[in-house]
Amino acid sequence: MIKKVRQHINQNEPLLFENSSPGKRGYQLPPLDVPSVDPAAALGASNTRSEIEGFPEVSEVEAIRHFTRLSTHNYAIDLGLYPLGSCTMKYNPRVNEQVARIEGLAWAHPYQPESLSQGILEVMGTLEQILAEITGMDAVTLQPAAGAHGEFTGILLIRALLQSQGNARKKLLIPDSAHGTNPATATMAGYKVENIKSNERGMVDVESLARAVDEDVAALMITNPNTLGVFEENITRIAEILHSKGALVYMDGANMNALVGVARPGDFGVDVMHLNLHKTFSTPHGGGGPGSGPVAVKKHLIPFLPKPRLERVGERWTWNYDRPQSVGRVRAFYGNIGMHVRALAYIMAHGGDGLRNATLDAVLNANYIRALIEPYYDLPHKAPTMHECVFSDERQTKRGVHTGDIAKRLIDYGFHPYTVSFPLIVHGAMMIEPTETESKAELDLFVDALISIAAEIDTDAELVLKAPHHTRTSRVDEVTAARKPIVRWKGVTEPRP
């Protein structure tokens, strides 16, 4: 059974409306020392109201404590491990945030003239050069605003190159181990999709690929390492097969967390790829905020990069709009600059050796978890693991327990669940990526929790099937909850104000 369990204080929090009492105020202000103004006279009666019906009345300390307690209800990377495979939810060093808040960077306006923007252009130019070196490519654009956006941009570049040669071709080959956005990108770019099966080791079947490549194929979209956490060890042969038919290789760089400082995609035949700055270079991830998906290319694709292009002329940086073969803009202005600043801060703080060590730690942590829980969960593919490992619920389904049930029980142990039921080529997938930022102590707690849950399933499967038990909301009917999102509170079933 588990040796240690992480416990958070779980304090139920009434709604602010239920804390309300008539006459309370959340502020204390002295009387006005200037003449008061009638709002109706100043704004018009139709634009003002004397009060907000049902507005909660609470004291200042009640308001502060209410929202502070609510902030602790969300799991966060500052509290513990996010084992979300292929998402690389790792800690963001606070120095990144401090640098991004430097006044001259944080308040730079995109319409500032170049003469007043040399510092921020230097940041962008330096980041482009560093990312090109890390990936082994010849040029980088920072315009795309997210990974999927970068992926789409990369395929547009391939299409533009092939069109310039007289034939854009008709289809893209996508392995079944690729990321789910790949088929959507292919369709949006006007291509048909042909699926390539994996072999028993979880890699692209080279013989099947060779049979599929013909003059209608524009490119292969490959994720490497793939979504099983397996490195495509035949990648150079794969690139040769595509190039021999005039097709290109696009690489989804979402899993570069396993390669930085160790291997460069440009060196094993990749023509174009995107990077996820939030995954590999520690800019904030999730929450609906801005992302960044730079695209790196080899020389033959440079003419088609989005315009304008950042160039250095003498001692100054400038924008070059004279790009007749460019696919055009893919985003307003020049990308999400705050993400660029954070990524450059992360890279420079680590240096080359530090980035390589981060990669090695990420791979070590994933293999550590794999070795410890393999006796308790099924591992369908035995190839070496890179930065993540994918188990299945095959053993547990014999007792009626599935991957989603295990994930919900994991919440009771104080951990965010792993990625559930993905990749689709593994039935009942349990996809785990610890990242490089987690300590051995944290990994041991996580492993102990999974081992304990496996034991619970053997002795009392019902306990897991009804999990989570210690959350504010117990297990819900997820289909009904999605279609009828009604909040229940102390027996009240009406939607709250």
Domain-located, residue 71: no
DSSP track, 412-464: HTT----EES-STTSTTEEEE---TT--HHHHHHHHHHHHHHHHHHHH-HHHH
Q: What is the pTM of this model?
A: 0.88
**202 and 259 together in one domain:** yes
The domain of 166 spans: 94-348
Are 283 and 292 within 8 A, CB to CB? Answer: yes
Domain-located, residue 7: no
First vs last C-alpha separation in the chain: 44
The pLDDT assigned to 298 comes to 98
Q: Using the 8-state DSSP alphabet, how is residue 84 labeled?
A: B
C-alpha gyration radius of the chain: 26
**295 and 374 together in one domain:** no
The pLDDT assigned to 158 comes to 98
In tens, the pLDDT along 190-226 reads: 999 999 999 999 999 999 999 999 999 999 999 999 9
The pLDDT assigned to 152 comes to 97
**344 and 367 together in one domain:** no
**174 and 269 together in one domain:** yes
Are 172 and 196 within 8 A, CB to CB? Answer: no
| Chain-centroid distance, C-alpha 12 | 31
**387 and 324 together in one domain:** no
The pLDDT assigned to 373 comes to 97
In tens, the pLDDT along 97-106 reads: 999 999 989 9
- Tally of structural domains, the chain: 2
Q: Judging by beta carbons within 10 Å of its beta carbon (0-12, 13-18, 19+), is residue 67 exposed, middle or buried?
A: exposed
The pLDDT assigned to 142 comes to 97
Domain end call among 348, 379, 400: 348
Are 255 and 86 within 8 A, CB to CB? Answer: yes
The pLDDT assigned to 53 comes to 79
**372 and 336 together in one domain:** no
Look up the CATH number of the domain holding residue 316: 3.40.640.10
Domain-located, residue 251: yes
The pLDDT assigned to 7 comes to 53
Q: Which residues of the chain have pLDDT under 50?
A: 1-2, 8-9, 490-497
